[in-house]
Amino acid sequence: MELSWRIAYNFLRDGRAQTLLIIVGVAVGAAVIVFITALVDGLQGNIVQRTLGTQAHIVVSSPDLLPLAQAVPPGTVDLRSTDARPQRLRSINNWPGVLGVLQQLDGVTAASPVVTGPAFAQRGAAVRAVAVIGIVPQRYVQVIPVNQDMVQGRFNVGASQILVGNRLAQDLGLRVGDKLRVQGASGGSQVFDVAGVFSLGVRDLDQRYVYMGLKPAQALLGLPGGVTEIDLTVRHIFRAEAIAERINRLTGLKSESWMTTNGQLLNALKSQTLSSALIRFFVALSVAFGIASVLAVSVVQRTREIGILRAMGATRGRILAVFLYEGAAVGFAGSVLGAAAGAGMVWVFNTYGPALFYVPVAFSLVIEAVVLATLAGIAAAALPAMRAAGLDPVVAIRYV
């Protein structure tokens, strides 16, 4: 075993109570860091998962229509006032081609063509405004797993089968097997069979969404053969914005990620991440100061022994190494204990806590905590170690 490490180890073992106290101190800090990080990550993961349970990661649609004003020659001052153009429902040009391209895109795991637009649902005298969503079922469930949200009937859309939200079903008194007339804004209408009732858990959506096959929806919305948007799932959800921008550059289509449409949520998540990072930083800082102060005391206590070692021919570098090792050892031992304790706290939270959501502890988080604490221990030991290495052996030996 390397001598400096052996000396460090024996010094730590010799100062038993002191060593134990600082290791417990480091452990408490590491436990707090692991617990808070796991909790915040778990909470955020849960929120994001719930949000993305009802919306696509990226929605690609036709670019907005621009005002039909003649472009002015360069250098001319344009004093005209132009109104924004109303955005009528329209299909993505050559959508099968676009779909093929998007599917091949790096980071995209699923793509689903969708035709969606406004319509009225009518049963007897009751009329409700709804959003018709025409889908290719086996593709769509890879984007939004509606098939897991069925509360009645089966997930089955087709030429005359539709799915309605449970709120709409309640409003119109619908049950599986009932008939429902849906009327498109352009005047066409069709009577459908309600094949199932779903609940996405979002009141507004459950009141307005009506899922049907691609063909009947195209007919109702007056877009034969067309789709209004292509919904995408990406592998890493926080890369969605970058991928959306890439799609926009690549195809010229309008491409919006969930990160844009949920700006406020993302903002909240970011400030939460920031505040937890601050907590972690200050806990780590106080732990580092703790290590530094204990080692500073230890250097004073070991002054004479440092002097003897120097007299016997130990170099300054060796003395420096001894105290750096002490810092590293304390950081490592404390953080291993602390990470275990933090994981234990998470387990208690999962088992006996409010059980609103499950908090996983990533193994990488534990490794990260241990590595960081060990490095912090070394950094904290730097000053005391330099002091020890700089001791004048003449003074040190006669230190009482």
Partner 1 sequence: MSEPVSSNPSAGDVDPVLRLEGLRKSYQIGTPLETEVLHGVGFTLRRGEFAALVGPSGSGKTTLLNLIGLLDAPTGGELFLQGTPTRALEDAERTALRGRAIGFVFQFHHLIQAFPVLDNVLMPALVQGVRRSRELEAQGLALLDAVGLAAHAHKRPNELSGGQQQRVAIARALLTRPPLVLADEPTGNLDTHSADDVFALLRRFNHAFGCAVLVVTHDPRLAQRCDRILNLVDGMIVRDQPVAPGSAPEPAQQPAAT
Residue 14 binding partner 1, by CB under 8 A = yes
Output b/e per residue, 105-127; b: 16+ Cβ within 10 A: bebbebbbbbbbbebebbbeeee
Alpha carbon 120 to its chain's center: 37
Residue 399 binding partner 1, by CB under 8 A = no
Judged by beta carbon, residue 181 or residue 318, the one nearer partner 1 is 318
Of the candidate residues 75, 86, 124, 313, the single one contacting partner 1 (CB under 8 A): 313
Residue 394 binding partner 1, by CB under 8 A = yes
Give the interface size with partner 1 as a residue count (CB under 8 A): 24
Residue 18 binding partner 1, by CB under 8 A = no
DSSP code string of 226-238: --SEEEEEESSGG
Residue 288 binding partner 1, by CB under 8 A = no
Scanning 159-167, 228-236, 291-299, 313-321 for contacts with partner 1 by CB under 8 A, the matching segment is: 313-321
Residue 139 binding partner 1, by CB under 8 A = no
Cα three-residue angle 278-280-286, rounded to 5 degrees = 100
Judged by beta carbon, residue 6 or residue 154, the one nearer partner 1 is 6
Residue 367 binding partner 1, by CB under 8 A = no
CB 204 within 8 A of CB 196: no
Q: Which residue has the tokens 């106290």?
A: 21
Interface characters, 177-196, with partner 1 (x: CB under 8 A): --------------------
Question: Looking at 21-125, which runs of residues are DSSP E strands?
Answer: 58-61, 108-123
Alpha carbon 138 to its chain's center: 26
Residue 386 binding partner 1, by CB under 8 A = no
Of the candidate residues 309, 328, 369, 370, the single one contacting partner 1 (CB under 8 A): 309
In whole angstroms, how far apart are CA 272 and each of 39, 151, 278, 283?
A: 11, 34, 10, 17
Judged by beta carbon, residue 50 or residue 398, the one nearer partner 1 is 398
Residues near partner 1 (CB under 8 A) are 3, 7, 10-11, 13-14, 304-305, 307-316, 318, 392-394, 397-398
